[in-house]
Amino acid sequence: MAFCFPLPRLLMFLGVQLLRGILLFAVGLPAACWVLAEESGRGQTANPVRTQKEEVPVIGFVLQELGSSAYQQLEEQAKAYCEEELASGQARCQLISGGALDGRDVAVQKQWFKQLLLKKVNSLVIAPVSTKALIPQLIEARKRGIPVVNIGSRFDLQLLVRNRLQVPWVGPDNAAAARTIASHLAKTLESGDKVIILAGPPGELMSFTRVSSAKKVLGNAGVNVVAVESGQWDSDRAQAVTLRLLDKYSDLKGVFAASDNMALGAMRAGDLKGIKLKVTGFGGDPRLLDYVRTGRILATIDWYPRQQGVYAIDKLLNGSLVDDRMTPWRLIVSSDLKD
């Protein structure tokens, strides 16, 4: 039986069939190529060959007192640690660091924080000038999914909780260290001897912890703490405060300073008055160690401040961002520094 198609319909029919063939070929070609590729790849490693290295994490540092040797060395050690080459041939991380030259310039820290966000860092380490003023910046970092680790002065815990911020802190057990050095100071004094305590800025948690712990130990030992005043972590300010209190308490015997800077100021005040004060510091500042060696400063606590940046980087890279990390510290007295 024969069928006749009008010529236009016949051409349309043949065109459709041709188009179907082309489409089937095009669809089948990738699958066929994939099968051929699998066949030719049998017997080789299952892992794909990397054509490019993984991205190195970028960590931003927001520091304070960049004019001081302690923070300069912290920055240098952190950078060297970041640049160490791993087994993969890559650096551990990339560090972008900056901040305030002194311990009071909040505005500079805020501006540097903003710059780091624009640079799209993966994480942040902050040694805040103020324990409260940078809370809005922490909130912004959280919105962007950028984890933050706190070193140096500790952020206000109540504000962190109120704003539901999880910012782990890296640093020494200040309470235990303060108790240890205060106990050492008390052993060199008689019951009833007068001492003063030089604190950091009012409301600063690290200072409060050191001062309250030391005051309790000294009081329990029978030492008379006649004054607790702020030296603002500053040597000149501590010297001025100590000079004024020496005018008021001429029989003053000792000074518990919550930082090495303030201990140096207290020591100079005693020298100006011709009084040998028993002064303790806190920090392990190399400038102070010579005075500890010769006995002009009774003792200090070395809490390895220059290593805090390295400890913070470790915490960020290991992903342990829930709990705080307590870092090492030790009491240093003159016998520890004898040749």
For 271-329, what is each residue's pLDDT tens digit? 999 999 999 999 988 889 999 999 999 999 999 988 999 999 999 998 778 899 999 99
Boundary of a domain, candidates 151, 167, 183: 167
Residue 22 domain flag: no
| Contact yes or no for 197/258 (Cβ under 8 A) | yes
- Reported pTM: 0.79
Rounded to the nearest integer, the mean pLDDT of the chain is 86
Residue 190 domain flag: yes
| Contact yes or no for 310/286 (Cβ under 8 A) | no
pLDDT at 150 over 50: yes
| Contact yes or no for 194/241 (Cβ under 8 A) | no
Same-domain status, 199 and 294? yes
Same-domain status, 160 and 202? no
Same-domain status, 189 and 117? no
Six-digit token string for 100: 């305030």
Residues 237-285 pLDDT 10s: 999 999 999 999 999 999 999 999 999 999 999 999 999 999 999 998 8
| Contact yes or no for 274/299 (Cβ under 8 A) | no
Boundary of a domain, candidates 167, 195, 225: 167
The pLDDT confidence band at residue 227, using thresholds 50, 70 and 90, is very high
The pLDDT confidence band at residue 338, using thresholds 50, 70 and 90, is confident
Q: Which residue has the tokens 């820290």?
A: 109
Six-digit token string for 178: 């303060």
Residue 212 domain flag: yes
Q: In the predicted model, what is the mean pLDDT of residues 150-167? A: 95
Residue 40 domain flag: no
pLDDT at 187 over 80: yes
Q: In the predicted model, what is the mean pLDDT of residues 89-94? A: 94
Q: In the predicted model, what is the mean pLDDT of residues 175-202? A: 97
Same-domain status, 179 and 273? yes
Distance (Å) of CA 121 to CA 60, 68, 165: 6, 25, 19
Same-domain status, 199 and 113? no
Residue 163 domain flag: yes
The residue range of the domain holding 109 is: 58-167
Q: What is the pLDDT of residue 3?
A: 39
Q: What is the pLDDT of residue 102?
A: 80
Q: What is the pLDDT of residue 47?
A: 33
Same-domain status, 235 and 208? yes
Q: What is the pLDDT of residue 258?
A: 97
| Contact yes or no for 211/199 (Cβ under 8 A) | yes
What's the number of domains the chain is made of?
2
Same-domain status, 63 and 148? yes
CA–CA gap between residue 268 and residue 235 (Å, rounded): 9
Q: What is the pLDDT of residue 53?
A: 58
Residue 16 domain flag: no
Same-domain status, 281 and 188? yes
Residue 123 domain flag: yes
Q: What is the pLDDT of residue 284?
A: 87
Same-domain status, 135 and 197? no
Same-domain status, 91 and 110? yes
Same-domain status, 181 and 293? yes
Using DSSP's 3-state secondary structure scheme, residue 37 falls into: helix
* Nearest Cα to Cα of residue 98 among 72, 134, 136: 72
| Contact yes or no for 147/82 (Cβ under 8 A) | no
Least confident stretch, 84-88, 122-126, 164-168, 220-224:
84-88
Q: Tell me the CATH number at 113.
A: 3.40.50.2300
| Contact yes or no for 260/200 (Cβ under 8 A) | no
Q: How many CB atoms neighbour CB 184 within 10 A? A: 17
Boundary of a domain, candidates 112, 134, 167: 167
pLDDT at 104 over 90: no
pLDDT at 10 over 60: no
pLDDT at 23 over 90: no
Same-domain status, 111 and 70? yes
DSSP string, 89-127: SSBS-EEEEEE-SSSS-HHHHHHHHHHHHHTT-SEEEE-
